[in-house]
Structure 1
Amino acid sequence: MKILIAEDDATSRLLFAATLRKLGHTVTAVENGRKAWEAWQKDEHFLLISDWMMPDVDGLQLCKMIRGEPNLRYTYIILLTALDSKGSFLEGMDAGADDFITKPFDEEQLATRLRVAERILGLHQKLHIQATHDHLTGVWNRAAIMGHLQKELERAAREGTCTSVIVADLDHFKRVNDTYGHPVGDEVLQEAARRMGLALRGYDRIGRYGGEEFLITASGCGWNEAMALAERICSSLSRQPVNSGAGQIPMTVSLGVAVGCGQGKDTGVLIAAADEALYRAKKSGRNRIELSNQTT
């Protein structure tokens, strides 16, 4: 498990980090709440162990900052404290802490608390998948991919980089359902999602936008990179038929590509531009890629 430690006392910080690594965890240790906040924003840490009393940003403030972020991935927070009054523990819980460890800590007690954390985080992970993924294809659902795109556009606006969007629509999918039935259509959707996922880079994302339509986001992608990605997707679907319960079914896809390069944060504008390009791709014969006429 990836654990972030915020502890201003160097000896305690080193001891905690060494103990956690001995227990098999990956550890990032920082000396104050401000650096912990920065580390948490940059990388996924499923568990935070924070000292209560720290200069600048203390443990309570850090809890409130993390809980204030709109993030579906839950961070389990353990506060380190020498305080023993019930009022103090209640204050920590109200700030967003999940558990407490008193200093000096006992290694067996720490291991026990981590077992509880892992159990709860496992449950949160299951709920997270159910909340963010399409049950049929396993890719992100519409709400999740739209939320991810919004964050990527905001980041691109801050950093002056590009984010590309590809809208992919399976060609003649209604014909598959009408000819072979919806169970076979489901097989085609699942295989299409699998192949498109394999064509993506590690930091691209794909979501089911609706019916047989998929939305792909590609961070840091300009026109050339987005076009190359769309070509890989197009080729991955058309190169061989889908082996279904009704036999082999040919499959192709039409794609519309749009690129946002830091000028705006409106997901609707970017998707509308990709949709317009998709419409031209389908009107021009399908199984092809069209680029948007505008950069948002």
Structure 2
Amino acid sequence: MTTPMTTPTATTPTVHDGTEPELARALAGLTAGQQPQWPDRERVREVRAALGALPPLVEPAAVDRLRERLAEAALGRALVVQGGDCAETFAGNTPEHVRANLHALLHCATLFEVASGLPVVPVGRVAGQYAKPRSSPTGPDGLPSYRGDIVNGLAATAEARTPDPRRMLTAYDGAGAALDVLDSVAATTRSELFAGHEALLLDYEVPLVRDGYALSGHFLWIGERTRELDGAHVALARRIANPLGLKLGPSTTPEQAVAYAGALDPDRVPGRLTLISRMGADRVSDVLPPLVEAVADAGHPVVWLCDP
């Protein structure tokens, strides 16, 4: 079972760049939607090798801690609040901007805690949300679509829009700086803060997998345009220990929701899977309840989250 693709797909190549061999074999030859058409594959391999040699951005212990906190939410003993930028940019992701976003997130978490009487798990959409899915590989001007600062530039010129893999290294640096701010805010407010982003760009995500953890962030999710059950994004997610998110739109059927839960949470572990509804206000009351019921009947203790 697959979901429709709105852009051409790429095939995940076999790589020799420090990627864990078992993971490389699992992804080789699988289709991967929403990937850029890199003009220089040798440069991509060089950048992937460089990423593979860099320190992880987060630690496995923090990933495990988030999974424990999300387990409490899945069991009804906590709430989750997520927020941040729809897409981060290199220029806009200043320490002041990141700090303001995180303080706003913690303020929302406090309001929810007071109103509900439950602890709240704050997850920032930060330190990796640099990639953007697009409905078309090119825009009306004939230039390659802007796919986020991690891939190309927003300016409407051929030079800016040419995908440049070296931008992945800039994204890594920016994510590290944002995580430094996150750690500082957490320390000064005596709060727990976690970072999440959509694991869209596989050439960035895969080299940062270490010992079964995707260490580009604590919480990673799959978007609606890349959630093919037999595709590379789901294959990657199935092989990492991170808590996972999966976005479900209004076309999702109960059978599909159960199939995704079975693929990504086969052991029915609380906190492993978060299902993120993005139904729209006019559809959610009709579409979401059957999905919740089907997943619950199948025995999957998931977190249900509304797309922030």
Q: TM-score range by the shorter chain?
A: under 0.3
TM (norm. structure 2) is 0.25
Higher relative contact order (CA 8 A, sep 6+): 2
- Write 1 or 2 for the structure with the bigger share of strand: 1
TM (norm. structure 1) is 0.25
- Write 1 or 2 for the structure with the bigger share of helix: 1
